[in-house]
Amino acid sequence: MTDFDVVVVGAGVTGLTVANRLHAAGRSVLVLEARDRVGGRLLTEDVEGVRLEVGGQWVSPDQTALLALIDELGLEMYPRYRAGDSVYIGRDGVRRTFEGEKFPVSETTAAEVDRLVEELDRLAAQMDPLSPWEHPDAEVLDRISFAAWLAGQTDDPEARDNVALYVGPAMLTKPAHSFSALSAVLMAASAGGFSHLVDADFILDRRVVGGLQRVPLALASRLPAGTVHLDEAVTKIEWADEGATVFTGRGSYHGRNVVLAVPPTLVSRVQYIPALPPVQAQMRQHISFGLVIKLHITYETPFWRDLGLSGTAFSPYSLVHEAYDNTNEDVEGETRGTLVGFVSDVKADSLLALTPEERRSRVLEALAAYYGEQALTPVHYYESPWMADEWTVGAFGTSFDIGSLTRYGRHLRADVGPLAFASSDIAGLGFQHVDGAIRMGEAVAARILA
Ligand code: FDA
């Protein structure tokens, strides 16, 4: 059969949510996926005997759409390991341990961080994350970079560096001078407030037993056999008001509706006949992926636990700006310990310019500064390769450049004839997270059914 009610492009969580909801409502659905697997930015893989969450992995309490789906699919979760002290390396280069979510900085810096967090919470509370351009200060906040906004708020460089860390390297994975203060407020509003971004125990709360890719795998298994075509990249779409024909290297398929469940940057990789309205093409030239290298370093034992450390470590001044204990508590008989760390934006640029051996040494030196000399001798080292993957080309997600959220944001979720667009990157709540992928998938399915 080549005629369907709906053709979905992309078998990430967004596309599979759309397909599941439409199939349950009795619609005929086809899902076309470019890769040889489902899950998109979720990938749980065995790499040389170590099971790794190569892409997304954590679930937080505000992600109610994801929590409901995990429940619906009958999956189980377990908490991230967090017993013991965390480590912080400050602007003075001194390593300090601490408890709770507040970094051990001077009293004046701590007071400045609190004041900034309070102000960002206030701004986020005024925002509907589905329409950030309607924020009372939208125009002003969208014209200024987050770095410049922070500089206007405080003279304390360590307070600025810490607050920038939560949104820049840790979330949008772009330097704080390259996105607007409005985008920073959106990131906060989409997670239920800036205070949540500051609290690693909240944001990185739990993991799914067997890995988060089990969510898209379970969604795909609920569809009738043959619904998901792997290795079938969509290259061209011919559309008119009454429907569209989707072309791949293997054939063509017709749908009354077509859902592009791909990141906004990849929407433009497809050829459209006729071309999409100019604003659509213009808009997507102002959206880009951030860059972060997710590192997985496995040791014979989780040695940091014996030192009284939780494995949680932060420093805006380290190559690895954040790291956590990522040991697979759900794998029976696992005695090894795994740390996960992140190298983001311009630090990732400089790391990627090095040879693999140099990269590994630099990363291990950064970890040794957090956890001591034992961090220099892992049994396994792995860098997630999303930036080199043509079906993502970056990580974690995409965001607008300065001034573009107010200029184009309202077109992000607009349908074009029979074409609908959905992805975690255009979500309100759950923006750039699996929760947002589910919300966007459900919203598009509901719109088509209506
Ligand atoms: P996604 O990109 O997953 O899916 C799109 C699909 O479309 C892909 O499978 C792609 O191959 C396919 N495609 C693209 N173009 C195509 C074409 N022309 N034809 C056919 N198919 C095409 N989130 C979270 O909640 N907790 C976390 O801890 C993390 N951590 C994290 C770490 C890392 C390293 C990454 C990369 C990402 C995260 N995330 C995360 C983000 C989370 O993974 C992400 O938001 C969602 O998985 C995105 O789901 P989508 O379905 O929207 O896009």
Enter the pTM of the model.
0.98
Q: Where are the domains of the chain?
A: 2-42+213-276+416-449, 49-61+77-82+203-207+291-388, 109-197
Distance 43 CA to ligand 1 centre (A): 9
Q: How confident is the model at residue 1 (pLDDT cuts 50, 70, 90)?
A: low
Report which protein residue has its CA nearest ligand 1's atom 52.
Answer: 423
The first and second tokens of residue 161, run together, are 């560096």
**Could you tell me which residues are beta bridge partners of residue 273?**
238
Has the ipTM of the complex gone over 0.85?
yes
**Which of 45, 421, 434, 442 should be mutated for ligand 1, with most atoms under 8 A from CB?**
434
Distance 150 CA to ligand 1 centre (A): 30
184-233 pLDDT, tens digit per residue, is 999 999 999 999 999 988 999 999 999 999 999 999 999 999 999 999 99
312 in a labelled binding site: no
Q: Return the closest-CA partner of residue 243 out of 233, 253, 232.
A: 253
Give the atom of ligand 1 at the shortest distance from the alpha carbon of 435: 25
30-75 pLDDT, tens digit per residue, is 999 999 999 999 999 999 999 999 999 999 999 999 999 999 999 9
Give the atom of ligand 1 at the shortest distance from the alpha carbon of 430: 25
The pocket around ligand 1, CB under 6 angstroms, is made up of 9-15, 32-35, 40-42, 55-58, 233-234, 261-263, 266, 269-270, 294, 384, 386, 391-392, 395-397, 423-424, 432-435, 437
R_g over Cα of the chain: 22
Supply the CATH classification number for the domain 109-197.
1.10.405.10
Residue 192 has a CB neighbour count (10 Å cut-off) of 21
49-61+77-82+203-207+291-388 shares its CATH topology with 109-197: no
Q: Return the closest-CA partner of residue 213 out of 96, 53, 34, 92.
A: 53
Topology (CATH) of 2-42+213-276+416-449: FAD/NAD(P)-binding domain (3.50.50)
First to last CA, the chain: 25
Peptide bond into 274 cis (omega under 30): yes
Contact 234, 249 (CB under 8 A): no
Q: Mean pLDDT, to the nearest integer, of 274-282?
A: 97
Distance 42 CA to ligand 1 centre (A): 6
Topology (CATH) of 49-61+77-82+203-207+291-388: Polyamine Oxidase; Chain A, domain 2 (3.90.660)
Q: Is the dihedral of CA 66, 68, 69, 75 positive or negative?
A: positive
Which of helix, strand or coil describes residue 197?
helix
173 in a labelled binding site: no
14 in a labelled binding site: yes
Q: What is the pLDDT of residue 101?
A: 86
Contact 95, 370 (CB under 8 A): yes
33 in a labelled binding site: yes
Distance 211 CA to ligand 1 centre (A): 15
